[in-house]
Structure 1
């Protein structure tokens, strides 16, 4: 048997994809779930692990918002919520929620601008003021009310319309070190700068000790920090130009089962 290797996989745009416009029209229980992997990609992950390797999810999503068909694959653990929550097996290695100052600021900005948001936590996600589209009602009308619906009353990051997100970051300057990442449909996520894929992967690698050669699969700007921590960064064919430029290998698109193609061409399955 060859060397045991470790791979980290982004979800949206990498392991699977759902049209964001179509997703907004789905019922809440479906809308918040991740895409599912194609049969070819699911089979490739199973073969990769069966060969003695380790696979990890590395995503901005909440662990409870990962589709059951995705979560049922033989992953050894997950880095979720953009690195705020990290788990290997049943062991939680990292769980860093937003401090009260951030949540209070978000509450103020929503009240002033009339915007909506989505709070994301290790216990799932919840819309506030109708969500980022403002149409997902009934929903809590304030962050404080939404927190009462989350076990433990903690949130790890928040998604808002980009103008509102920028206002939150501006007001928190010098108070709390937060970052902003632009997403689809004119939205952005705000979280603690310390919570990133790079730090999450580092925590997992330190825990594993001997991870062998490491691979990272991604398509978006937030995957650049994942690429910093692995030996072989792999960009999807649908990745942004900056992500492709940072990769050692560019595979096919998510729609053409690029993960399966890469695992095969790299001799990992």
Structure 2
């Protein structure tokens, strides 16, 4: 049996933000042979399933960069949320010092909170993930559900300044791509290892596909890591196995060569 993990953006998704027909067919072929396909993303679960439902509506998934693992029956297999006090502190820092930045808070399976959707960054995110956030006053909102991720959007140089400030003043957080904030105990690689451990009594081969620095821990956690052809040279240097680009069905190219 094969367990196949895949990043979404730049990997499973092509430059048109779609899963190609050849890639869908290759994954479905592996599923019919008893393999397991698991999407791995920083996105919330609902946004992941909007991408993967054409493949299958019964896939386990790793969301929020490893902070939440969902079983194929939509139950929670593992979770690692942010501390509420930490979230409120970050919101206060951003709103008081960086008014040009946009704050997004993600809870549970499908709850995305923000304060205003009429700005470039939120409109871009809504288009990318095909989801609509709930508008709230984040400073006074009662967070009754686990918070798995903060997404801070805005100019890169401002996000970098904020990242340095948060990393020097707040413990137990991990900041990816300058603005994706999760619990420091969670990452893609740890979540992948937890799933592989579940099948340790079974003869399995583990595979992973990725294209960015955020995928390194995942790629390092499997027996067969593959870097997409569209990945940066710095990522390609770290791994021997390379495949075609996301626009040339790189995942399908590898999966179609697996010997049963």
Whether TM exceeds 0.5 here: the answer is yes
Are positions 1:83 and 2:66 aligned together? yes
Shift of 1:191: 1.3
Name the residue aligned to 1:159. 151
Name the residue aligned to 2:31. 49
- Alignment CA distance shift 1:166-1:67 (3 Å): farther
Are positions 1:243 and 2:240 aligned together? no
Partners of 2:81 and 2:146 within 8 A in 1: yes
Name the residue aligned to 1:26. none
Are positions 1:205 and 2:187 aligned together? no
Equivalent of 1:234 in 214, 223, 226? 226
- Alignment CA distance shift 1:142-1:45 (3 Å): same
Q: Distance in 2 between matches of 1:189 and 1:237?
A: 25
Which SS does the other structure have where 1:250 is aligned? coil
Name the residue aligned to 1:29. none
TM-score by length of 2: 0.81
Alpha-carbon displacement from aligned partner over 1:62-84 (angstroms, at most 9, x marks no partner): 11112535134246411111001
Shift of 1:126: 2.8
Name the residue aligned to 1:96. 80
Q: Distance in 1 between matches of 2:210 and 2:53?
A: 18
Show the 5 A alignment for 1:214-229: 214-229=206-221
- Alignment CA distance shift 1:244-1:127 (3 Å): same
Q: Distance in 2 between matches of 1:188 and 1:175?
A: 14
Alpha-carbon displacement from aligned partner over 1:24-80 (angstroms, at most 9, x marks no partner): xxxxxxxxxxx4311111111100111221111111111111253513424641111
Shift of 1:258: 0.9
In the alignment, structure 2 segments of 5+ residues that lack a partner are 124-132
Q: Distance in 2 between matches of 1:92 and 1:211?
A: 25
Equivalent of 1:142 in 138, 141, 144? 138
Name the residue aligned to 1:24. none
TM-score by length of 1: 0.79
Which SS does the other structure have where 1:215 is aligned? strand
In the alignment, structure 1 segments of 5+ residues that lack a partner are 20-34
- Alignment CA distance shift 1:153-1:76 (3 Å): closer
Name the residue aligned to 1:10. 7
